[in-house]
A and B are shown apart, each in its own frame.
Chain A
Amino acid sequence: MRPLFARYPFFEAAREAVRSADVDLGTLVNSADPAVDRAHERVKRALLEGTAASETPEEWTETQELLSYPIARILVSLVDSSAAVDKYAQAEAKTAIERLEADLAAGDDDLRSTDTDRLDRDRLLDELDLSAAVTPDRSHEGAGRQRGEVDTTRARESDQFWIDLGPYLKLTSAEWRPSWKLVNREVWDGRVRVQRTELNRLLREAIAQRVAEGLPFDGLSREDPIATALSDELSDIERLLSQRTTVEEIDFVARELFPPCIENLLQKAEAGTQLEPFESFSLMAFLTGIGMDPDEIVAFCADASLDPEGIRYQTEYLADDRGTQYPPPTCETLAAYGLCHNEDDHWTVAGDPLTYYKRQLDERGDSVTDWREANA
Chain B
Amino acid sequence: MDDRTRRYLRGRFGDYYRRADVPLPPAANLREWGHIPWTAGSGTTMVRHQSQMDLGSLDDFLERTAPRHAYFSAARYRDPGASTMSDKGWTGADLVFDLDADHLPGVDPDAATYAEMLASCKEALFRLLSFLEEDFGFSEMEVVFSGGRGYHVHVRDPSVRSLDSAARGEIVDYVRGHGLDVDDVITTVSQAGTNQRVLKNDGGWGRRIHRALLELTADLQAADKSAAIDRLQSFDGIGSGRAETIYGAVTRNRAAIKAGNMEAGGPGIRLLVRTLAESVVDEQNAPIDEPVTTDVRRLIRLPGTLHGGSGLVVTSIDRDDLDAFEPLSDAIPNRFVGQEITIETAESRTVELNGDKTKIPQGVSTVPEYLGVFLMTRGEATKAPEPT
Contacts and interface: CB of A to CB of B under 8 A. Distances in A.
B130 to A, nearest CB: 12
Interface stretch (B170-178, B343-351, B357-365): B170-178
Interface string A40-84: 000000000000000000000000000000000000000000000
A166 B178 CA distance: 20
A179 B184 CA distance: 5
Contacts of B163: 166, 169-170
Contacts of A173: 166
Contact of A183 (B85, B173, B201, B202): B173
Describe B's contact surface by its main secondary structure.
helix
B174 A183 contact: yes
A182 interface: yes
B179 A183 contact: yes
B200 A186 contact: yes
Given A166-B159, A188-B135, A139 B202 contact: yes
Contacts of A165: 136-137, 159-160
A165 B171 CA distance: 10
A189 B137 contact: yes
Nearest to A139: B202
Nearest to B159: A166
B135 A183 contact: no
Interface stretch (B7-15, B23-31, B204-212, B237-245): B204-212
A172 to B, nearest CB: 8
A164 interface: yes
Contacts of A181: 170, 173, 179, 181, 184
Contacts of A185: 203-204
Nearest to A171: B167
A170 B179 contact: no
Contacts of A186: 200-204, 206-207
- Which of the four size classes fits the interface of chain A? 20 to 34
A139 B173 CA distance: 28
Contacts of B203: 185-189, 191-193
Given A165-B136, A193-B202, A188 B181 contact: no
B169 interface: yes
Interface string B190-205: 0000000000111111
Contact of A178 (B174, B179, B207): B179
B134 A189 contact: yes
Contact of A174 (B138, B159, B166): B166
B119 interface: no
Interface residues of B, number: 33
A336 interface: no
A376 interface: yes
A169 B165 CA distance: 11
Contacts of B170: 169, 172, 174, 181-183
Nearest to B198: A140
Contacts of A123: none
A182 B173 contact: yes
Interface in B125-172: 134-138, 159-160, 162-163, 166-167, 169-171
Interface in A157-213: 164-166, 169-170, 172-174, 178-179, 181-193
B185 to A, nearest CB: 6
Contacts of A174: 166, 169-170
A376 B165 CA distance: 14
A147 B201 CA distance: 13
B180 interface: yes
Contact of A164 (B159, B174, B201): B159
A183 B178 contact: yes
Given A166-B159, A178-B184, A190 B167 contact: no
Contacts of B167: 169-170
Contact of A188 (B134, B171, B179): B134
B136 A184 contact: no
B134 A183 contact: no
Contacts of B85: 376
Contacts of B180: 183-184
Contacts of B185: 184
B138 A188 contact: no
A354 to B, nearest CB: 25
B64 to A, nearest CB: 32
Contacts of B177: 183
Nearest to A137: B202
B137 A191 contact: yes
A188 B184 contact: no
Contact of B135 (A139, A178, A187): A187
A164 B171 CA distance: 14
A185 B205 CA distance: 8
A188 B132 CA distance: 10
A22 to B, nearest CB: 37
A334 B181 CA distance: 39
Contacts of A184: 179-181, 184-185, 204-205
Contact of A182 (B162, B171, B200): B171
A270 B174 CA distance: 35
Nearest to A179: B184
Given A174-B166, A193-B202, A187 B174 contact: yes
A24 to B, nearest CB: 35
Given A174-B170, A178-B181, A189-B137, A183 B159 contact: no
A319 B135 CA distance: 32
Interface string A260-274: 000000000000000
17 contacts: A164-B159, A170-B163, A178-B181, A179-B184, A181-B179, A181-B181, A182-B174, A183-B170, A183-B173, A183-B180, A184-B181, A186-B202, A186-B203, A186-B206, A187-B135, A191-B203, A193-B200
Q: Which 4 A-B pairs have the closest CB atoms?
A: A190-B137, A188-B203, A166-B159, A184-B184
Given A184-B185, A189-B135, 16 more contacts: A165-B136, A166-B160, A166-B163, A169-B170, A169-B171, A170-B163, A174-B170, A178-B179, A181-B173, A181-B181, A183-B204, A186-B204, A187-B203, A189-B137, A189-B203, A192-B203
